Structure 1
Amino acid sequence: MSLPKTSGHRKKISIAHRRPLPFERLEPQQRLRRGSAPRWNKKVTACRLPSAFCLPKSCAAYPRSQCKFSSAVISPTESEQDEISSNGNSGSVDVAFRKINKNSTAFLIWKIENMNVVALPRDQYGTFYDTESYIVYAASQYGQPCGVDTVTREMKNGCMEYHVHFWLGSRTSPEKSGVAAYKTVELDNYLGCLSTQHRESEGNESPRFLSFFKNGVRILKPELIQNNQHFQARLYRVKGKRIPVLSEMPKLSWDFFNSSDVFVIHTTKTIFIWTGRAANAIEKLHATKIANDMKEEFNISNIVFVDDGYEKTLSDDMRKEFNKYLALEKRMVLPESHDSNKNGNNQRSSIRLYRCSENNGKYRVAEIRSGPLEQLDLTADDVFIVDHEIYGIWVWVGKRANDKERGEALRNARGFVKKKKYPSNTKVTRVVDGYEPVEFKMLFSAWKDDVKGGKPSILVSKYDALTMEDRPSLAAETQLIDDGAGSLTIWRIKQSHIVEIPKERHGYFFSGDCYIVLYTYGTSSEQKHLLYCWLGLHATQEDINSTTLKLNEIDDELGQLGFQARIIQNRETAHFLQLFKGKLIIFKGKGTDYDVKPFRGKKAYVWSGNYSTGDQREMAKGFAGKDFELILEGKEKDDFFNLLGGRSSYNTQMARNDSDPRPPRLFHCNSVNGNFNGKFNEHKILTQTEVFVSSS
């Protein structure tokens, strides 16, 4: 990503020479004055706006009231123009959006120029100006990454995931931010109101937004390029541990230096990398890469590293060059930047859930829960706000919420931010019921996706290579490595010893035991090994520790060529179940010696609950053998209950399947100031200096 040599600004043209926005087609007395902000009527608490931007009548006179901890009344008179514009009526779509294929992956960026949406050239992706507003569109198959390298490709199968971000520079005008918000709603309507909308502010971008730009983001000041016919030295600050953000400072001065950041000083002959004594090592690496890019782009010969407090130890030539731009006698370095602890370890953030409702023209936000959130707290008829304080505000729109609540969700969330007196650059995101991104799901203690859309079952008993090739999503979900026809060896952990299980007893486990399963597959010339350790829910810690030791011993005997996998009872993977041909029986308690002849009854019963499925019944029949009696819930005979000790009450509710309540997550772990910090990370990019922990 190179630094543009010219500004992205175009010459200002007359408003008559462009296509008017919807509100400009109204009567003159309703029209906003060009270049002016909305006119507020001081006599009433309502804004005199053109009809395309007008609030509904029931919302036009919200009373001002103080925000309470448990509830808040949001007043639109305090909303900025971009929040008002987010209510816009988008009956027609902008010509810039018409080329979007809703069924295709894509990554596009537009810039607001002269109140119009203008496509940004791809070679400028990742470069933003702090006086501008942008719209970023990312479409991918659900759960797949997206970014500058995304190739537009039509998806015939699979669910699409849409994200629309409008990015606001710190010095953008209200008119530009208003158009960006309005056009974001217009694009969302064009996509069927199924996109996740993000309000991004300079300096507080969301991790998803930054992940689009793998080579980093550059935020520049256009006037420094426009007003200087001849090159002048510039100062840049480098922030970000995963994705670097290069921000241009207003001028080259000691006023912007602090000991917790890394700065790049770009001069005509030399690039200086100044590293604060408390700066992060990863940011120093990012700064080095950026300096190398600048060196090649501007044909500069030298890159010089300068440590905080050791400026005078530079060589005479470099010290004179450095002093020419930053006088050493005027050196003044702050101990740390204002936002150095924004994402620090000392920050703690609570999480609260609010229900949004309207009563007699008043839009009320009432707290209904704090602490760990449950998915069942959300109802499809309402709109909810998830308050995660400094980490962002989320507004969730139920699928049965009315059009008015849908259209005003993002604006009302911004009003909530103001009432809570959170920073103006707090991230605000609107999500739609049924299309929640993974970041939103992680805010809840458990989240189960709706499987009514025909999501394939992961209990695959037969491997079909052609099916897996035609349905890559199914292959990825099941994680099948072969057809399960390899050889199988199973050991049970008995105190500190291992006992091999006879082949005829494969597939019979006990919840109080631990087992090691060695699966060998491949060809005779190249065999591969997969080592599973299965841990029962009631196994002792001694057995678990012994299992780990024995697993490593077996792996050493195999020349450490095997792959190890840890399996917890009730969380068996599809491939593990496939090894037993779909028949795995788990008994309660600890197993005994396997030379004891098991007791066999004369008759078998298959009891089917009211909420059971046909597939479950068929699998149960396979366990029972040929001679069995099928009994449906509610139609049991007394003889059946007599076998169980008599009829008694039992749970008749649908059992909640918590075997896999969360998708696997990746945490980025680092040690800063002696504290070990783990943070959820989506980028899945590992480096040699980082530790990642996977959780499921």
Structure 2
Amino acid sequence: MSESDSSFGGGSGGMELDPAFASIPKNKSCLCIWRVENFKLVAVPRESHGIFFKGDAYVIYHAEEIKKSTGSSSTIASSLIQHIHFWIGSEATQDEAGVAAYKTVELDDHLLGNAVQHREVQGNESERFLSYFKSRGGVTYRQGGIASGFHRHQSTNEPRLFHLKGRHTVRLFEMPAIDWSYISRGDVYLLDLNEVIFIWNGSKSNKYERLQAMHRAKQLRDERGKTNIVIIEDGEEMKMSKDELKLFESKLSLKDKKLNLNETIDDNDDDTRSDGAHIKLYKCSDESGTLKVTEKKVGPLVKSDLESEDAYIVDNGAHGIWVWVGRRSNPKERREAMRNALGFLQKKGYPKMTKVCRVIDGAEPMEFIALFKTWLDSNAQKGLGKTYTKGHIAKMVSSQFDVTTMHLHPQLAAATQMPDDGSGKKEIYRIEQFKMIPYPETMHGIFFSGDSFVIQYTYNDQQNSYTLIYFWLGHHSSLDEQGAAAIGAVELDKKMNGTATIIRVVQDKEPLHFMAMFHGHMIIFKHGKRSGFRNLQYYDENNSENDDTYLLQVRGLSKYDTKAVQINIYCISQFNFFFHLIDLRASSLNSNDCFVLFTSQCVYIWCGKGSTGDEREMSKVVASSKSKEPIMVFEGQEKDEFWSHFPSGKEPYASDKRLGEHQSALNNMNDHPARLYEVSNASGRTTAIEIPNFTQADLDEDDVMLLDAWTSIFLWIGKNSNKTEMKDAERIAYDYLRTDPSNRDSDTPIIKTKQNYEPIHFTGFFGPWDRNYWTTKSSYEATKSMLHATNRSEIYAELIKEKPKQNILNRTTVTKYSYELLLKPADELPEDVNPELREIHLNDEEFFQRFKMTYAEYTSKPVWRQKELKKMAKLF
């Protein structure tokens, strides 16, 4: 059976399949986790998914059935996307890590090599890995491992102290002991006593982690059925009730806080987006029997750099190493790809925790594709003319535009970037002398590359009215004019009390909706106001003396995305106002498009062999702006009269016929899903932090968010975001485009939208959208009060009962041994040493050195506290 025959089973290459893998559901979405125990894989029960012991190694298999929307309420199942991760704890042995890596290869063989392989290291996992556990409140790192006697994943009732990190994707780190020395003012901690969870918020901790701590504690309470949650603010411990304070101090005495509290503050809680300007490509070869890695290129990269006969390493520095294995590469290269990548990692001196991922030709994940400037579809144009790249949105699914469908299915509006059909009300202003001057309605749809324009567009849905403010920047307009257009857009927004969505549009990068406003009749001429606007006479129907000749190229696949661009122009002004000659040549023609040639005698529509019927119909619309009936001219059937209008006559031109059509906008959205980033300056520097598997709940009203929809960049402004973040937001968007490893176009449209005034082509990226979400969302204080109100006071009575004191042997009579000897395993201790009472064999001086207290003080502590102190001294 070939790789293309199935995505599951039967490919173990003669190797006996591990019985652990027999439980994997075939051709279904699932998440399976195994822990390495005594060189074997043992399944982790579902209720313990997301809990990882730092002394262990794991194998994780995730499969997701991708569905593609058809634009209606139905969906069509697509391929099964498979990922295998092997996770290495910070204290896992080399043998355990090796078993996990080997079993990953074994499972991949069973899956016929179709899965993406990931190497994950504790604390630096990929966003994809972390996203698997987002619904479970994030990942939890526990102390110990299989070698330490933790043979089961079920939690115990022992008290535990957890350090919470992460504003969006939560990580819980179990501390070695419950002690103030493991607590910092800059962070949030959960003291989990099972029946009671104390949340301690450091005075310099951030509000996001405080909220996350409450959500995580509530989730634990819901799982257990009865648990009190007590929120404590640093310095306000005495505000707890008498019973709460007594219980808290039985674990963390306030007398020890000032002495032992860690004052270090670490605000590096999330990975920020990397600068991919120096991404590198290496070719791997083992022809001589020894692996040879040769640098092939420094970014930007394109798909054609990868050849299916070979294997390559894409080096994104400390942010990750990718191994790409071609479909026609040899089996050895496939099996050893991950090992070779780890060798490359070591040779480069990158940190051991650097993420490493192996991908297969034809099954590349979005994270890998995003590193490339272009990733051509298999049916894309190979020659001149229109080509499909990952940034191109093609025609509408249907030529009949149904506005109601957009509001019923906002994901369609998001995919096409069409909030409505463009039939709303528009007011257009042209920048003249740095002021906005109303643009005549008769000129709507006619633009000049030497000018900048501002368009205020208003439309209605079934309930509300929305306003979009576009500012359009011609290629040859001055920077001052462009600045005036941007300021003009902001001023219009202010008049509307800041409720409008502002969109920056650069000539030739017009989004679909922009063109839809002109109903298939958008023309861009060269020059502008500074050149006297001689071009206005092109559309002066009453000027019979207008004998200018010019050529328009018509592009577009439907009424909603057709525009004509003046590519060459030959003008002679009867007033000798100016003389301008711009190479009007037949070589400008292209077999894939339609062109409209305007002359003083007639109008020609030239139709290339690769042009579509829609393009020809739209050309008629453009040509109809003149009173003359257009003459249709088909490629290969031109008469000499047609060529006579070109100064150089007939010449060769691009004639490669289109080999395939653009895929639909919906498929483009599936292939290149949107990515959300939080823009913040909370740490004193502006950062952009990616949020995986985002929903509306991830839009924080205190921040600016950046949504990368590939064909456009949205900046979402939270109502409480600070002025610095708002000011830096647009710069962040430019920097984001500039540093993208795929070498993005800096003229990609940037759209500013504000909280509570989001258009549907923004909300469609977030799944179900609740217009009342922020009005009904509980604040921090409200959530805190709600959790406190559900606490039950009777829980404390049992917990704060005095425990009987431990029987104490006569310490003065036992033999004393060195601390080093008492650290030995139980079977190597002297016969008279009880492994559970090692501490009594220390002399007074060494006991105080290790426990920071006298033996009498130690014995006065509760039993649980004695255990914690012994753990800290490594005598437990």
TM-score (normalised: structure 1): 0.69
1:520-560 CA-to-partner distances (Å, cap 9, x unmatched) read 44489965544433332222333334334444555566676
Q: Could you tell me how far 1:246 is from its partner in structure 2?
A: 0.5
Q: 2: distance between equivalents of 1:547 and 1:533?
A: 6
Partner SS for 1:359: coil
Is the 8 Å Cα contact of residues 607 and 632 (structure 2) preserved in structure 1?
A: no
Return the match for 1:458 from 369, 394, 404: 394
1:286 aligned residue:
212
Q: 1:120 to 1:465 in 2, by over 3 A?
A: farther
2:563 aligned residue:
none
Moved more, 316-325 or 544-553: 316-325
1:354-390 CA-to-partner distances (Å, cap 9, x unmatched) read 1111221111111223354454433333222122232
Moved more, 323-332 or 418-427: 323-332
Asked whether 1:126 is paired with 2:50, we answer: yes
Partner SS for 2:167: coil
Q: 2: distance between equivalents of 1:480 and 1:302?
A: 48
Is the 8 Å Cα contact of residues 273 and 688 (structure 2) preserved in structure 1?
A: no
Asked whether 1:692 is paired with 2:705, we answer: yes
1:440-491 CA-to-partner distances (Å, cap 9, x unmatched) read 23434x2344162899962335315799799997654213333444454433
Q: Could you tell me how far 1:233 is from its partner in structure 2?
A: 2.8
Q: 1: distance between equivalents of 2:293 and 2:24?
A: 39
Unaligned runs of 5+ in 1: 1-85, 145-153
Asked whether 1:110 is paired with 2:26, we answer: no
Q: Could you tell me how far 1:133 is from its partner in structure 2?
A: 1.0
2:308 aligned residue:
380
Give runs of aligned pairs for residues 289-688 of structure 1, distance below 5 A.
289-291=215-217, 293=219, 297=224, 299-300=227-228, 302-306=230-234, 317=246, 320-323=249-252, 327=256, 331=260, 333=262, 335=264, 343=271, 351-370=279-298, 372-444=300-372, 446-450=373-377, 452=379, 458-460=394-396, 461-464=399-402, 476-522=414-460, 528-552=466-490, 554=492, 562-590=500-528, 592=533, 594=536, 597=540, 599=546, 601=599, 602-606=601-605, 619-620=618-619, 623-624=622-623, 627-628=630-631, 630=633, 632=635, 640=643, 643-645=646-648, 665-684=675-694, 685-688=698-701
Q: 1:119 to 1:484 in 2, by over 3 A?
A: farther
- Code of the residue aligned with 1:237 in structure 2: it is H
Q: 1: distance between equivalents of 2:528 and 2:701?
A: 43
Q: Could you tell me how far 1:204 is from its partner in structure 2?
A: 1.3
Asked whether 1:251 is paired with 2:202, we answer: no
Is the 8 Å Cα contact of residues 169 and 202 (structure 1) preserved in structure 2?
A: yes
1:220-244 CA-to-partner distances (Å, cap 9, x unmatched) read 2466877999844322222223211
Q: 1:585 to 1:554 in 2, by over 3 A?
A: same
Q: Could you tell me how far 1:621 is from its partner in structure 2?
A: 5.8
Is the 8 Å Cα contact of residues 260 and 340 (structure 1) preserved in structure 2?
A: no
1:19 aligned residue:
none
Partner SS for 2:470: strand
Identity of paired residues, percent? 32
Aligned residue pair count: 594
Is the 8 Å Cα contact of residues 291 and 303 (structure 1) preserved in structure 2?
A: no
- Code of the residue aligned with 1:206 in structure 2: it is S
Partner SS for 2:84: strand
Q: 1:576 to 1:174 in 2, by over 3 A?
A: same
Partner SS for 2:514: helix
Asked whether 1:135 is paired with 2:60, we answer: yes
Is the 8 Å Cα contact of residues 259 and 277 (structure 1) preserved in structure 2?
A: yes
- Code of the residue aligned with 2:431 in structure 1: it is I
Q: Could you tell me how far 1:509 is from its partner in structure 2?
A: 1.5
Q: 1:545 to 1:410 in 2, by over 3 A?
A: same
Q: 1:318 to 1:141 in 2, by over 3 A?
A: same
Partner SS for 1:156: strand
1:11 aligned residue:
none
Q: Could you tell me how far 1:682 is from its partner in structure 2?
A: 3.6
Q: Could you tell me how far 1:432 is from its partner in structure 2?
A: 3.0
1:139-159 CA-to-partner distances (Å, cap 9, x unmatched) read 153799xxxxxxxxx962556
Q: 1:430 to 1:397 in 2, by over 3 A?
A: same
Is the 8 Å Cα contact of residues 272 and 690 (structure 2) preserved in structure 1?
A: no
Is the 8 Å Cα contact of residues 308 and 361 (structure 2) preserved in structure 1?
A: yes
Partner SS for 1:218: strand
1:397-433 CA-to-partner distances (Å, cap 9, x unmatched) read 2344333323322221122122223333321112233
1:79 aligned residue:
none
Q: 1: distance between equivalents of 2:449 and 2:282?
A: 42
Q: 2: distance between equivalents of 1:422 and 1:340?
A: 19
CA RMSD of aligned residues (A): 5.0
Q: 1:262 to 1:345 in 2, by over 3 A?
A: farther
Partner SS for 1:440: helix
Q: 1:614 to 1:112 in 2, by over 3 A?
A: farther
Choose between structure 1 and 2: higher helix proportion: 2
Moved more, 558-567 or 352-361: 558-567
Is the 8 Å Cα contact of residues 349 and 388 (structure 1) preserved in structure 2?
A: no
Partner SS for 1:643: coil
Partner SS for 1:210: helix
Unaligned runs of 5+ in 2: 1-10, 381-387, 547-597, 663-667, 708-712, 714-747, 749-876
Q: 1:521 to 1:291 in 2, by over 3 A?
A: closer
Q: 1: distance between equivalents of 2:356 and 2:520?
A: 46
1:213 aligned residue:
133
Q: Could you tell me how far 1:183 is from its partner in structure 2?
A: 4.6
Q: 2: distance between equivalents of 1:468 and 1:404?
A: 50
Partner SS for 1:246: strand
Asked whether 1:240 is paired with 2:166, we answer: yes
Q: Could you tell me how far 1:202 is from its partner in structure 2?
A: 1.5
Q: 1: distance between equivalents of 2:273 and 2:425?
A: 49
Q: 2: distance between equivalents of 1:387 and 1:230?
A: 43
Is the 8 Å Cα contact of residues 134 and 168 (structure 1) preserved in structure 2?
A: no
Is the 8 Å Cα contact of residues 235 and 263 (structure 1) preserved in structure 2?
A: yes
Partner SS for 1:417: helix
1:614-651 CA-to-partner distances (Å, cap 9, x unmatched) read 76566546544663354649999697376244678988
Q: 1: distance between equivalents of 2:325 and 2:621?
A: 44
TM-score (normalised: structure 2): 0.57
- Code of the residue aligned with 1:597 in structure 2: it is D
Q: Could you tell me how far 1:178 is from its partner in structure 2?
A: 4.7
Q: 2: distance between equivalents of 1:496 and 1:204?
A: 51
Partner SS for 1:366: strand
Q: 1:370 to 1:313 in 2, by over 3 A?
A: farther
Q: 1: distance between equivalents of 2:207 and 2:275?
A: 21
Q: Could you tell me how far 1:219 is from its partner in structure 2?
A: 1.8
Q: 1:182 to 1:359 in 2, by over 3 A?
A: same
Q: 2: distance between equivalents of 1:136 and 1:436?
A: 17
